[in-house]
């Protein structure tokens, strides 16, 4: 009998201490140095050793037998093959597509979070391999805060820098009176940070704010979008109407002379245009608090009172990323910046605006002291790209045109898709449309741990070793610690490290050296550690050698900027620290954007009604569907783990519904319900609660998509909101995903609900 050992493991949600016995991970608990470790760790053993693991390379039967359209992707059976066979098929197909369509025929945008780890990063590995092969068609942006990334450079500066420069929470505790949160600041989302988080600091930092007397206002359809650490006033708002609410607030400031003209004159451009819009000088519609009340469901006196309260003290305005993941999602951010400029506190400690507090564990809490080493991706000779959320659009309209950042562009023709480290059948909107789009390429290759819906839509599925089945190290993109990730157990069945898969392919394609530089995984890990070590030395830290590090505990470094205040230098000297915008100032009106002449994004922040409220003239569905990030997992990852499963209702994802909405539909807590609209339908488990605003339902993302192709609209049995969301982007400025803007109806499911099959492998057949 093997003895039990305790070893470190690390992930996007924190450091775990794993109990390992032989080839099994028995349990993973939080590291003792983490004051608020995430329970997502509890999913790891069940998922790592779950039935859904891809055990051998597998090929879709119709594709293998040369009749690729005989059975649609997503519905076909698979044939397990040897690694040699699978790699030969991949190499041959890559060569064929390159020869016939060029490298731009290979789409490897491959968006997704994959796993933490500096070396075994799925996208980096795939992109390095394809760059060695002459390049690939890429995607630009993300699903998280794409509208912010596309808009902010026009009006303030690069968004990623703003996140890193966010004012720190201890500064807010000391200086702020009020934090106004559009979309709340859900503690559940601060479990996670891209690349890893060593300590969950948010609960204690928020408690320090509460102790210091800082007040919070939660403007959100969900009461629980705010931590219990603080006492917040809840102002429920109709989803998608935050811009109108902010406009109403701005109008009150203007009407009552509470705006800071000195700040606006010195630090911003375009306030005149904003005033004309607020007062209705051009369109005859004054946009006052009464106007806003009619759109938002927030009473006019409450709007006026909030505006006065914001002007009365030091106020931080926060916008959750979810608020820009909506129709015209650029507008609430631009309006938040406008509002903050009117208050004149940008650059002061505890005042101004932030887009993104609460979006991850580290924003406003910690930053990395220097850049960690990473596997170099090489250079992509193909310059063609698509905005990330246009995947279905591209596949269904090769040669079609679209507008993006003021340019007219044409969709390329992607013949081969390769996905590694992401789950588009989790992350993309309107999954019935994506299912159609995924029928169009010649070949789809997916590297996966599990038989996700994306793997089931592939022609060739390559089984890969999981994060506990390979050696690596972790350093979060915005964290201050380095964590060893020793291999805990051998890879499941025939699963392989992705690096070894690409090395074997590179050898077949005659590009072995270009990809490997003659190194194996262990050589690369040492190289990347040495790069990290030498950068550490430049920053004044002495890191141990690789062996010592790998056998030791985490290494915590100092916080490089604990007193940071966003835009304080700009405030101190707006000439010397001019912003990287055309005017060098905050652009409340952008000549550049106005010059694009877009119908869905003007030269200043403006109100546009959400599109799904009136579908095809048939009348809107009555309930707004919100589908935020799940507390019990990371997106779709580890959905088949114990913690995630414990929270399901009747085996399905919980949907929160207000008692009045439930009563009107005869729905009781614990019932299986069906959510539907023109695009699709799914089953879910009803949780009746007044935590959610009346008129809204909240269905967490990440339940593995489980379509029943024999049911109407290929009904999903498990509760995946993306069968209901629309695939329209925020606007033609940034073409960002707008998942939070969908309308649905809900009914009780009568009869025996079909069993959920999402966590089972697909059917296999021997080779014909
Ligand atoms: N309706 C709705 N949809 C949304 C959102 C929403 O708010 N509402 N939010 C959006 C947001 S913000 C995001 S970021 C996306 C997230 O979308 P994704 O990042 O695509 O979601 P994940 O579930 O993290 O998918 C990662 C996949 O990588 C696999 N994986 C893990 N490690 C490895 C590895 O080492 N190698 C390989 N090859 N695979 C690996 C996992 O098994 C998993 O299937 O979803 C978006 N979708
Ligand atoms: N546990 C866990 N944490 C995560 C993730 C995860 O999968 N699991 N994913 C991580 C990722 S990739 C990201 S990008 C972040 C996402 O972080 P966010 O984008 O902030 O998270 P969401 O949950 O999409 O949205 C936050 C809240 O916005 C509210 N909301 C939605 N629409 C509107 C609206 O129109 N108006 C207002 N006022 N409120 C609205 C919803 O009530 C929702 O709870 O979370 C990260 N953290
Ligand atoms: Mo995200």
How far does the chain reach from its first CA to its final CA, in angstroms?
A: 42
Closest-lying ligand 2 atom to the alpha carbon of residue 627: 24
Ligand 2 atom 43, closest CA = 628
What's the burial of 174, exposed, middle or buried (CB within 10 Å: 0-12/13-18/19+)? Answer: middle
Q: How far apart are CA 671 and CA 669, in angstroms?
A: 6
Phi, psi of 610 (to 5 degrees): -55, 145
Q: What does the pLDDT read at residue 620?
A: 80
Q: How far apart are CA 464 and CA 638, in angstroms?
A: 15
Lookup result for tokens 């590009």? 511
Spatial contact of 508 and 87, defined as CB atoms under 8 Å apart: yes
> Does any ligand 2 atom lie closer than 6 A to the CB of residue 322?
yes
Closest-lying ligand 1 atom to the alpha carbon of residue 628: 7
Q: Decide if 451 is catalytic.
A: no
Lookup result for tokens 């030498």? 534
Lookup result for tokens 């070793």? 465
Q: Which of 360, 426, 487, 626 to mutate to test the pocket of ligand 1 (most atoms within 8 A of CB)?
A: 426
Q: Which of 9, 114, 322 to mutate to test the pocket of ligand 1 (most atoms within 8 A of CB)?
A: 114
Closest-lying ligand 2 atom to the alpha carbon of residue 359: 17
> Does any ligand 2 atom lie closer than 6 A to the CB of residue 324?
no
- Tell me, in angstroms, the distance from the centre of ligand 2 to residue 189's CA: 7
Ligand index nearest the alpha carbon of residue 182: 2
Ligand 1 atom 26, closest CA = 422
Spatial contact of 186 and 358, defined as CB atoms under 8 Å apart: yes
Spatial contact of 311 and 251, defined as CB atoms under 8 Å apart: no
Spatial contact of 182 and 221, defined as CB atoms under 8 Å apart: no
> Does any ligand 2 atom lie closer than 6 A to the CB of residue 335?
no
In this structure, what token pair is assigned to residue 312? 């009365």
- Distance set, CA 11 to CA 191, 336, 550 (Å): 11, 33, 16
- Tell me, in angstroms, the distance from the centre of ligand 3 to residue 526's CA: 30
Spatial contact of 231 and 216, defined as CB atoms under 8 Å apart: yes
> Does any ligand 2 atom lie closer than 6 A to the CB of residue 643?
no
Rounded to 10 deg, the angle between the 242-255 and 300-312 helix axes is: 60
Q: What does the pLDDT read at residue 653?
A: 98
- Tell me, in angstroms, the distance from the centre of ligand 2 to residue 134's CA: 38
CB atoms within 10 A of CB 27: 18
Q: State the maximum Cα–Cα separation within the chain, in Å, rounded to a whole number.
A: 81
Closest CA to 560 of 119, 182, 164: 164
Q: Which of 449, 477, 632 to mutate to test the pocket of ligand 1 (most atoms within 8 A of CB)?
A: 449
Q: Which of 740, 741, 742 to mutate to test the pocket of ligand 2 (most atoms within 8 A of CB)?
A: 740
Closest-lying ligand 1 atom to the alpha carbon of residue 452: 44
CB atoms within 10 A of CB 171: 21
Query: Contacts by 231-234 with C-beta closer than 8 Å and gap 24+?
Result: 232/181
Residue 453, phi-psi category: left (phi > 0), alpha (psi -120 to 50), beta (remainder):
alpha
Instruction: Return the H-helix or E-strand segment holding 682.
Output: strand 681-688
- Tell me, in angstroms, the distance from the centre of ligand 2 to residue 221's CA: 12
Q: How far apart are CA 762 and CA 478, in angstroms?
A: 38
Q: What does the pLDDT read at residue 251?
A: 98
Q: Cα 200 to the chain's mean position, in Å?
A: 19
What's the burial of 204, exposed, middle or buried (CB within 10 Å: 0-12/13-18/19+)? Answer: middle
- Tell me, in angstroms, the distance from the centre of ligand 1 to residue 421's CA: 7
Buried b (16+ CB within 10 A) or exposed e, 115-133: bbbbbbbbbbbbbbbbbbb
According to DSSP, the β-strands at 472-474 and 654-657 are unpaired
- Tell me, in angstroms, the distance from the centre of ligand 2 to residue 709's CA: 30
Ligand 2 atom 12, closest CA = 144
CB atoms within 10 A of CB 460: 23
Q: How far apart are CA 740 and CA 721, in angstroms?
A: 10
Lookup result for tokens 């007193």? 563
Q: How far apart are CA 550 and CA 524, in angstroms?
A: 14
Q: What does the pLDDT read at residue 231?
A: 87
Q: How far apart are CA 488 and CA 577, in angstroms?
A: 49
Ligand 2 atom 26, closest CA = 322
Spatial contact of 165 and 566, defined as CB atoms under 8 Å apart: yes
- Tell me, in angstroms, the distance from the centre of ligand 3 to residue 143's CA: 5
Give me the residues paired with residue 623 across strands. 744
What's the burial of 436, exposed, middle or buried (CB within 10 Å: 0-12/13-18/19+)? Answer: middle
Q: How far apart are CA 768 and CA 758, in angstroms?
A: 26
Ligand 2 atom 2, closest CA = 189
3-state SS, 361-393, equals CCCCCCCCCCCCCCCCCCCCCCCCEEEHHHHHH
Ligand 2 atom 29, closest CA = 183
* pLDDT < 70: residue spans in the chain: 1, 614-619
> Does any ligand 1 atom lie closer than 6 A to the CB of residue 628?
yes
In this structure, what token pair is assigned to residue 427? 């992350």
Residue 426, phi-psi category: left (phi > 0), alpha (psi -120 to 50), beta (remainder):
alpha
Ligand index nearest the alpha carbon of residue 222: 2
Lookup result for tokens 């002379």? 257
What's the burial of 691, exposed, middle or buried (CB within 10 Å: 0-12/13-18/19+)? Answer: middle
Lookup result for tokens 């789409």? 107
Spatial contact of 543 and 533, defined as CB atoms under 8 Å apart: yes
Q: Which of 240, 629, 641 to mutate to test the pocket of ligand 2 (most atoms within 8 A of CB)?
A: 629
> Does any ligand 1 atom lie closer than 6 A to the CB of residue 762?
no
Q: Which of 13, 63, 111, 402 is catalytic?
A: 111
Q: What does the pLDDT read at residue 618?
A: 56
Domains of the chain: 58-141+397-510 (3.40.50.740), 151-365+567-596 (3.40.228.10), 611-748 (2.40.40.20)
Spatial contact of 756 and 719, defined as CB atoms under 8 Å apart: no
Q: What one-character-per-residue DSSP string does 1-57 give?
A: -PPEEEEEEEETTEEEEEEEETTEEEEEEE-TT-TT--GGGGGHHHHHTSTTB--S-
According to DSSP, the β-strands at 672-676 and 742-748 are antiparallel
> Does any ligand 1 atom lie closer than 6 A to the CB of residue 648?
no
Query: Contacts by 202-205 with C-beta closer than 8 Å and gap 24+?
Result: 202/36, 202/169, 202/227, 202/358, 202/361, 202/365, 203/35, 203/36, 203/227, 203/229, 204/35, 204/36, 205/169, 205/170, 205/173, 205/364, 205/365
3-state SS, 619-658, equals CCCCEEEECCCCCCCECCECCCCHHHHHCCECCECEEEEC
Q: Which of 113, 357, 529, 570 is catalytic?
A: 113
Ligand 2 atom 37, closest CA = 183
Radius of gyration of the chain (CA): 26
- Distance set, CA 707 to CA 247, 336, 431, 752 (Å): 42, 40, 10, 17
> Does any ligand 2 atom lie closer than 6 A to the CB of residue 360?
yes
Ligand index nearest the alpha carbon of residue 634: 2
> Does any ligand 1 atom lie closer than 6 A to the CB of residue 627?
yes
Q: Decide if 169 is catalytic.
A: no
């Amino acid at each position: 009998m093997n003895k039990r050992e305790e070893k470190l493991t690390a992930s996007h949600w924190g450091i775990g201490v794993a109990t390992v016995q032989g080839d099994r991970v028995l349990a993973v608990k939080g590291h003792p140095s983490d004051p608020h470790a995430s329970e997502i760790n509890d999913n790891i053993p069940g998922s790592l050793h779950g039935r859904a693991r891809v055990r051998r390379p597998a090929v879709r039967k119709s594709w293998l037998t040369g009749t690729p359209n005989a059975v649609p992707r997503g519905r076909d059976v698979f044939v397990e093959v040897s690694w040699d066979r699978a790699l030969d098929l991949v190499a041959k197909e890559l060569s064929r597509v390159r020869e016939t369509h060029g490298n731009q025929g290979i789409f490897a945008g491959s968006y997704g979070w994959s796993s933490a780890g500096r070396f075994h990063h799925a996208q980096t590995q795939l992109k390095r391999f394809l760059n060695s092969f002459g390049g690939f068609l890429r995607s630009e942006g993300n699903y998280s805060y794409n509208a912010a990334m596309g808009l902010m450079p026009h009006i303030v500066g690069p968004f990623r820098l703003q996140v890193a420069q966010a004012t720190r929470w201890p500064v807010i505790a000391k200086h702020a009176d009020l934090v106004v949160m559009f979309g709340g600041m859900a503690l559940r989302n601060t479990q996670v940070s891209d690349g890893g988080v060593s300590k969950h600091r948010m609960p204690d930092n928020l408690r320090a704010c509460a102790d210091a007397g800082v007040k919070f206002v939660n403007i959100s359809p969900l009461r629980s979008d705010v931590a219990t650490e603080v006492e917040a006033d809840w102002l429920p708002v109709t989803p998608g109407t935050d811009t109108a609410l902010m406009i109403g607030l701005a109008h009150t400031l203007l009407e009552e002379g509470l705006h800071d003209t000195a700040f606006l004159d010195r630090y911003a451009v375009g306030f005149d245009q904003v005033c004309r819009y607020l007062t209705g000088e051009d369109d005859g519609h004054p946009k006052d608090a009464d106007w806003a009340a009619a759109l938002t469901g927030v009473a006019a006196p409450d709007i006026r009172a909030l505006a006065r309260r914001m002007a009365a003290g030091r106020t931080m305005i926060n916008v959750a990323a979810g608020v820009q993941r909506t129709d015209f999602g650029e507008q609430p951010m631009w309006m938040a910046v406008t509002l903050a400029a009117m208050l004149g506190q940008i650059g002061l400690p505890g005042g101004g605006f932030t887009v993104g507090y609460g979006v991850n564990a580290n924003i406003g809490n910690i930053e990395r002291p220097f850049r960690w080493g990473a596997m170099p991706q090489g250079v992509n000779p193909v310059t063609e790209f698509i905005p990330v959320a246009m995947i279905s659009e591209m596949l269904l309209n090769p040669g079609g045109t679209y507008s993006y950042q003021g340019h007219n562009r044409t969709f390329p023709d992607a013949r081969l898709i390769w996905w590694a480290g992401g789950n588009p059948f989790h992350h993309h909107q309107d999954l019935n449309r994506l299912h159609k789009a995924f029928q169009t390429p010649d070949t789809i290759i997916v590297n996966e741990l599990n038989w996700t819906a994306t793997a089931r839509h592939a022609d060739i599925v390559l089984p890969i070793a999981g994060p506990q089945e390979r050696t690596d190290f972790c350093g979060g993109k915005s964290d201050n610690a380095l964590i060893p990730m020793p291999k805990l157990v051998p890879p499941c069945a025939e699963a392989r490290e992705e690096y070894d898969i690409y090395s074997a392919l590179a050898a077949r394609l005659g590009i072995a050296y270009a990809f490997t530089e003659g190194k194996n995984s262990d050589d690369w890990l040492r190289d990347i550690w040495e790069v990290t070590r030498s950068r550490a030395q430049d920053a004044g830290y002495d890191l141990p050698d690789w062996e010592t590090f790998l056998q030791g505990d985490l290494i915590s470094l100092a916080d490089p900027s604990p007193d940071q205040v966003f835009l304080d230098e700009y405030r101190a000297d707006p000439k010397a620290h001019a912003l990287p915008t055309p005017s060098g100032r905050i652009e409340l009106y952008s000549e550049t954007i106005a010059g694009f002449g877009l119908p869905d994004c003007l030269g200043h922040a403006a109100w546009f009604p959400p599109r799904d409220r009136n579908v095809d003239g048939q009348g809107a569905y009555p309930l707004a569907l919100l589908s935020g990030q799940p507390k019990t997992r990371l997106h779709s990852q580890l959905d088949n783990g114990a913690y995630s499963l414990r929270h399901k209702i009747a085996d399905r994802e919980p949907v929160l519904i207000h008692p009045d909405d439930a009563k009107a539909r005869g729905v009781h807590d614990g019932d299986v319900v069906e959510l539907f609209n023109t695009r699709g339908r799914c089953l879910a488990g009803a949780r009746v609660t007044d935590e959610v605003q009346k008129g809204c339902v909240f269905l967490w993302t990440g339940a593995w998509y489980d379509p029943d192709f024999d049911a109407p609209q290929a009904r999903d049995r498990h509760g995946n909101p993306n069968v209901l969301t629309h695939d329209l982007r925020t606007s033609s400025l940034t073409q960002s995903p707008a998942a939070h803007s969908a309308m649905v109806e809900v009914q009780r499911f009568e009869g025996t609900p079909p069993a959920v099959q999402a966590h089972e492998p697909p059917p296999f057949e021997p080779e014909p």
